Structure 1
Amino acid sequence: MATLAGASLARAASEEDAPEMKVNAATAAEIAKLPRVKQTLVEPPFMPEHEQAASGGPRIIEVTLPIIEKKMQIDDEGTEIWALTFGGSVPGPMIVAHEGDYVEVTLQNLATNMMEHNIDFHSATGALGGGAITKVLPGEQVVMRWKATKPGVFVYHCAPGDVMIPYHVLHGMSGAVMVLPRDGLKDAQGKPFKYDRAYFIGEQDYYIPRDETGAYKKYEVAGEDMADSLDVMRTLTPTHEVFNGKVGALTGEGAMKAKVGETVLFVHAQATRDTRPHLIGGHGDLVWEAGSFNDKPDTNLETWLIRGGSAGAMTYTFQQPGVYAYVNHNLIEAVLLGATAHVVVEGDWNDDLMVQVQKPGPIQTT
């Protein structure tokens, strides 16, 4: 009797599963009919070309993301790290989609690399964000597809397991995804909103070991620093806190550009530590601090919080020309550790907004 009961239950389960299997098969067939678009990724702070409001229905966005292990200099003093990168940059490139799109990622672990890698998309739905199904050894590639169900900005990062998770992330393996609502962004009143330029700032904390003299150590191959680096990481005290891979990456020739009257979208991501972006001389006109575009943005913020392991977005319409400093307003990290960027803004000065009433001179007494 028990055997018959078991068989009946098995048949019932099979019959119950059948409709779901048909639904899945139909869904797969529908996905196969969607138009495919290859997205050309670019090095941050720039973003790939994209529509702000989708002009058509859902698409499959094809992305190729090579993993490159390479030696990088992270300051002007010659400090080096064997960076583990998505696409060869720190942070990895921004991926842009619209809600309802599918993102199909070809993850390539180059044969010249030393380590196993994978990718965890905070924007994806499913255990480990795809980390379990994207593990690749050197010389291998894997293809993963995920559906963009949540509008907002999200971190992605490498997560091979155990101590290799912080080791890989803190050697540069993180980036971000922006999922726009199909009809574009909305302001605080729910009205359609557009930006003129967009920049991606990836904040990275490094933990570089020192030798017995206090000098930063250098290593011949990727992974050679693992034991030393883990010891420094356990202090929770970074030696460098930088934007886009190195001290000064977004200053001088690398500074972001804008013009008076332009509205600029800034996406800021930090995979491990809380950070407090601040635009000196400007404001967060609209701020999606936690990254969700489904939520009403905050307005007119002076400083905003990006939680470790997340991304946030801010827009500002520049009113005055000049060189604006965009900083982590933990000023120790901004000034001493490197978390400073510049935005060079062109245009005409408005004395009504700011003017020097009196030039510096001797203190006058009455």
Structure 2
Amino acid sequence: MRTILTVILGISVLLGCFANTWAENASQVKTLERVTQRLVAPPFLPAHEQVAQGPPKVVQVRMVIEEKRMTISPDGATIWAMTFNGSVPGPIVVVHQDDYVELTLVNPTTNTLRHNIDFHAATGALGGGELTHVAPGQEVVLRFKAIKAGVFVYHCAPGGPMIPWHVVSGMNGAIMVLPRDGLRDAEGKPVRYDKAYYIGEQDFYIPKDANGKYKAYPTPIAGLEDMLEVMRTLTPTHVVFNGAVGALTGEHALTAKVGERVLFIHAQANRDSRPHLIGGHADLMWSGGSFKDRPATNLETWFVAGGSAVAALYQFRQPGLYVYLNHNLIEAMLLGAAAHIKVEGVWNNDLMEQIHKPGSIK
């Protein structure tokens, strides 16, 4: 009996300590500066400082879930996309290590499904997924402390087969948690970027009818069974950057100038990818997205594991058109996983020069 009482007393003391800690943390958060971050559509990042200014803050963000029909390729494929803030991928959030992210997640009455959000940057409760389930007409507020520096995926995870269906229907995004003192190169020296772009790679699985034409459905749930059948083949019909074939090419191409350092954040919530910059490299690449690890240098192609994001920094040295792609060339050229970067500046013949133009063989 004495042993049981001792155990009960010990548990009571432990719970009391936890309660005091929770109260202290809640009180501390109330004293922090609160800022609102205005999220923007990819490939762009919200306004942010590369080096933290002052102590940790509570960064307030708002995401509105939108179920919408989207055209994803010139061959007529459409999908009932499930989106955060109306874009595929969802917007990228940028904070600093030890900041608090306070998200208001809204599921309007115009939607038809329950949704939630799992932040790979968060600790506990399935990345917040357990605490953010919202039905149409509901909203929820989640706050978590960003204790790990790096780039991370977030996605909807409502449970069971609905998880992959929501993810491959576009419901994923990324968060970048910068070190408070900014990024550092392989020698530990501070490094800054002049521009940053967020590329979300998306695999789609669009069913076809008996005549080989892509199917369209009146509601998201109407296409569920057909889509699951295609998904079980593990063979996507489309692999694209930022929601559609050509979303980052032609008139939508990314831009840079010779001499600029550009940070590319590349996320894939479901499948592995192998980014490559034709005509360039990754001067620095943070494997697995971890900014606390020493970056790899001078890579021709780098790896993104499914369910993760990485960051790569490159300083452009020549003008012209660059192609950034998944170096599974079948997925890049036949399924759509490619982007363009138009770079302005003066050509350097020392780096490359055409000695003779093409002509007849002598």
TM over 0.5: yes
1:13 CA drift (Å): 2.3
What's 2:316 paired with?
318
1:85-164 matched pairs, under 5 angstroms: 85-164=83-162
1:165-314 matched pairs, under 5 angstroms: 165-314=163-312
Q: Distance in 1 between matches of 2:14 and 2:175?
A: 37
For 1:241, the aligned partner's letter is: V
Query: How many residues end up aligned between the 2 structures?
Result: 362
2:283–2:314: 8 Å Cα contact kept in structure 1? yes
Q: Distance in 1 between matches of 2:280 and 2:13?
A: 62
1:353 pairs with one of 343, 351, 354: 351
For 1:53, the aligned partner's letter is: V
Q: Distance in 2 between matches of 1:203 and 1:183?
A: 29
1:38 pairs with one of 36, 39, 57: 36
Q: Distance in 2 between matches of 1:353 and 1:104?
A: 48
1:127 CA drift (Å): 3.3
Q: Distance in 2 between matches of 1:280 and 1:5?
A: 70
- Structure 1 residue ranges without an equivalent (≥5): none
Could you say what secondary structure the match of 1:192 adopts?
Answer: coil
1:17 CA drift (Å): 2.6
CA distance change for structure 1 residues 336 and 56 in 2, over 3 Å: closer, same or farther?
same
Q: TM-score, normalised by structure 2?
A: 0.98
1:219 CA drift (Å): 0.8
Q: Distance in 2 between matches of 1:353 and 1:272?
A: 38
Q: Percent identity, aligned pairs only? A: 60
1:5 CA drift (Å): 5.6
1:309 CA drift (Å): 0.4
Q: Distance in 2 between matches of 1:16 and 1:289?
A: 39
2:121–2:152: 8 Å Cα contact kept in structure 1? yes
1:152 CA drift (Å): 0.3
Q: Distance in 1 between matches of 2:110 and 2:66?
A: 8
Deviations 1:19-78 (A, max 9, x none): 332122111101111000000000000000100000110000001011100000001222
What's 1:17 paired with?
15
1:329 CA drift (Å): 0.4
Deviations 1:168-203 (A, max 9, x none): 000001000000000000000000000000000000
Could you say what secondary structure the match of 2:222 adopts?
Answer: coil
1:132 CA drift (Å): 0.7
Could you say what secondary structure the match of 1:264 adopts?
Answer: strand
2:255–2:343: 8 Å Cα contact kept in structure 1? yes
For 2:277, the aligned partner's letter is: L
For 1:23, the aligned partner's letter is: T
Q: Distance in 1 between matches of 2:4 and 2:347?
A: 81
Q: Distance in 2 between matches of 1:191 and 1:362?
A: 52
1:23-102 matched pairs, under 5 angstroms: 23-102=21-100
The worse-fitting range, judged by mean Cα deviation, of 197-206 and 26-35 is: 26-35
Q: CA RMSD in A?
A: 1.0
Q: Distance in 2 between matches of 1:355 and 1:15?
A: 75
